[in-house]
Structure 1
Amino acid sequence: MEGTILKRIIYLLPILGVLCFTGLIIYGYSKGIFHSVHSLQAFIDQFGEYAIVIFIILQILQVIVPILPGGISTVVGMLMFGSLHGLFYSYIGLIIGEMIVYWLARYYGKSFVRLILSKKRYLKFEQMVDRPKNGIKKLMIVTLLIPFAPDDLVCLVAGLTELPFKEYMKILLIFKFWSVATYGYVLLFLFNRFLIS
């Protein structure tokens, strides 16, 4: 019973995340926060160094339970802290999150995976688990190289395969930055083009 309630909460979090994000955008426009990148950064500066810590923690949680659609949180960080700093903070948070996901999957197994994935995504997950070690390494590299590919799902799969943590981290550290930077800059361009005047 408790597992079912928790699962429903986890499924509702992305919807709530999108609603909150939409609400923040509307609020930001009404208060003039989103009128320019400078006004957004001036608003964030009020929170001092805590803003960076909070953002990194949110990125860590974003990997475990996706609250916003992929890439949106990264572009928010790039707007808040500047494109390079925001990208770096996002990368740190996402790497830590992927490390946690690997160990949660390894320790709790498929019961953890069933808790956080929908039935449709779980079926994709099951198909990936049976791959040999070299197969999962190649799949990780490919999904990290292709922007907007389901790399978080593949990292979850890696925790249940024979892929050693050291090899997992090597692939993640090398290729994750490319993935984060690519979709971050694409979404930042679209955000600047259509939302910020």
Structure 2
Amino acid sequence: MASKRRFFLFLLLLIVLVAAVRLLGLHDALDQERLRSGIDRWGAWGPLLYILIFAIAPVLFLPGLPITVAGGLAFGPLWGTVYASIGSTLGAGLAFLVARYFAREAVSEMLGERWKRIDAGVAERGWVFVAITRLIPLFPFNLLNYAFGLTRIPFAIYLFTSWLFMLPGTAAYVIFSSSLLDLIKGDLSPAFLIGLLLLVALSVIPFFYRRWKGSKDSLPKVIIWGAALLLPFLAIQKADAEERIDLLTNRQGESGLPEGWRPLTFQRISRHTDYQLLEEDGRPVIRAVSRRSASGLIHPLDLDPRRYETLSWCWKVDRIISKGDETEKKGDDYAARVYVTFRFDPDKATFWERTKFSVLKRIYGEYPPKAAINYIWANRLPKGEAIANAYTDRARMVAVESGAERIGEWVCQARSLYADYRWLFDEEPPRLSGIAVMTDTDDTGEEATAFYSDISLKAK
């Protein structure tokens, strides 16, 4: 009953929180990826600090559920589960050792007669009793840690069993909470649904356990125990596989552009490409029409390419640029390109780079990107080849499609940003600062129409 009450109380609080945020208009300020990007900047200290807090919490009788939820928000379904599991297990172990070696009398007095029931259960069933109480909360978690320290169960068996059978509940809450901010903003993600189903599945285990615990037939028990341990691993794998950022949605932002995107224009180029958000077969599509013009749309980001490694998109063009030539400035036009900008970090730059970029910042009002990868529908460059941009060596042009063979049909691409940056620049990539689409014909004076869809970043 305690687990059910906690589950339904958690859902009730979530509903109240979502309603309050939506009514107060605060949902636009909640950016899950910005939160995780900020934590990524801490490096290894972020997970270590989280694990330390979780390890201390049970000893101090602090509730573990908010910390578990924080793990899902901060680290995602996979690593959130890993860190929360390590932290909660360490906390359970510390409380056990305190009770056994340092405060036995005080803990015994605090627990009163309750610990004797636990002691009797351990004496009768050993590690199985630990497993049952971890999987099916019969006693408060923090008290249970101390109570087991008063029993005769070996520490190693207690710790391993606690870790293994706390894992299903930990995974359920982490997966469920890993997309809470998206839910509050109105986006229902697969991770949320998977976590919710897992929580519901775990909440009915006590019912089946009470029904079959006295049965001589061991098969139902094997099924329950096996399912309880296997489901979290399958759910973590599925939820983590679904962790991605859909950069293009049906929602419109300013000037009818897709939400999250803004115009990308260039000095001394007055004719701009026309971009419109359309819908084709139920999916959002950007249509770009260029008539002797050049401009793009960019979606600003601040992400680690080591984590959000895979960029995928689909595109379609009505022609290639007949005068286009990737090796010359006068031919630097493309019917379609998707390019990725990488942030300039003055703290990691050389003196010359800081000086040069400081001058550029005074001109443009902000630091320009340190580097860019242009994935192009090439005019002449063979598919799979890459060259430096005709205007700047800070940009590389990668021909992911080439020529007129597939004109008029949707072509889908997927690239590893981390691997491509290492290949093209021979160094570790800085943080992503934006994903852009661009159709331009200003150098050749031609015309072209392109369509872009299904633009997303997927976590590693």
What TM-score range do you get, normalising by the shorter chain?
A: 0.5 to 0.7
The 1-side partners of 2:38 and 2:112 are apart by 40
The 2-side partners of 1:44 and 1:156 are apart by 32
1:128 matched to 2:118? The reply is yes
Q: TM-score, normalised by structure 2?
A: 0.31
**SS in structure 2 at match of 1:163:** coil
Equivalent in the alignment of 2:162: 172
**SS in structure 2 at match of 1:76:** helix
Shift in Å at residue 166 of structure 1? 2.7
Equivalent in the alignment of 2:42: 47
Shift in Å at residue 127 of structure 1? 4.2
1:142 matched to 2:132? The reply is yes
What is the total number of aligned residue pairs between the two structures? 164
Shift in Å at residue 79 of structure 1? 1.2
Equivalent in the alignment of 2:371: none
From the superposition, tell whether residues 196 and 127 of structure 1 become closer, same or farther in structure 2 (CA, over 3 Å): farther
> Within 5 A, what are the aligned runs for 1:43-82?
43-67=38-62, 69-82=63-76
**SS in structure 2 at match of 1:63:** coil
1:38 matched to 2:33? The reply is yes
The 2-side partners of 1:193 and 1:123 are apart by 46
Q: Summarize deviations over 1:117-141 as a string: whole Å, max 9, x none.
A: 6xxx655445434545234634321
The 1-side partners of 2:125 and 2:25 are apart by 50
**Of 86, 96, 108, which residue of structure 2 is paired with 1:92?**
86
Question: What amino acid is aligned across from residue 91 of structure 1 in structure 2?
Answer: S
Whether contact under 8 Å (1:106, 1:159) holds in the other structure is yes
Whether contact under 8 Å (1:56, 1:92) holds in the other structure is yes
Q: TM-score, normalised by structure 1?
A: 0.66
Q: Summarize deviations over 1:136-194 as a string: whole Å, max 9, x none.
A: 634321222136963443232111011112321231232121231123334556x3575
Farther-moved stretch of structure 1 (32-41 vs 170-179):
32-41
Normalized per residue, which structure has more helix? 1
**Of 158, 164, 173, which residue of structure 1 is paired with 2:148?**
158
The 1-side partners of 2:112 and 2:182 are apart by 36
> Within 5 A, what are the aligned runs for 1:100-119?
100-107=94-101, 108-112=103-107
Question: What amino acid is aligned across from residue 84 of structure 2 in structure 1?
Answer: S
Shift in Å at residue 59 of structure 1? 0.5
**Of 171, 184, 189, which residue of structure 2 is paired with 1:195?**
184
The 1-side partners of 2:38 and 2:25 are apart by 14
Whether contact under 8 Å (1:140, 1:151) holds in the other structure is no
Shift in Å at residue 98 of structure 1? 1.3
The 2-side partners of 1:193 and 1:139 are apart by 39
**SS in structure 1 at match of 2:151:** coil
Whether contact under 8 Å (2:68, 2:170) holds in the other structure is yes
Q: Which has the larger radius of gyration?
A: 2
**SS in structure 2 at match of 1:93:** helix
Normalized per residue, which structure has more strand? 2
Q: Summarize deviations over 1:46-77 as a string: whole Å, max 9, x none.
A: 3232111110100101121133x332211211
Higher relative contact order (CA 8 A, sep 6+): 1
Structure 2 residues without counterparts, runs of 5 or longer: 1-16, 187-460
Whether contact under 8 Å (1:106, 1:160) holds in the other structure is yes
**SS in structure 1 at match of 2:58:** helix
The 1-side partners of 2:124 and 2:156 are apart by 14
Whether contact under 8 Å (2:56, 2:91) holds in the other structure is yes
Farther-moved stretch of structure 1 (98-107 vs 130-139):
130-139
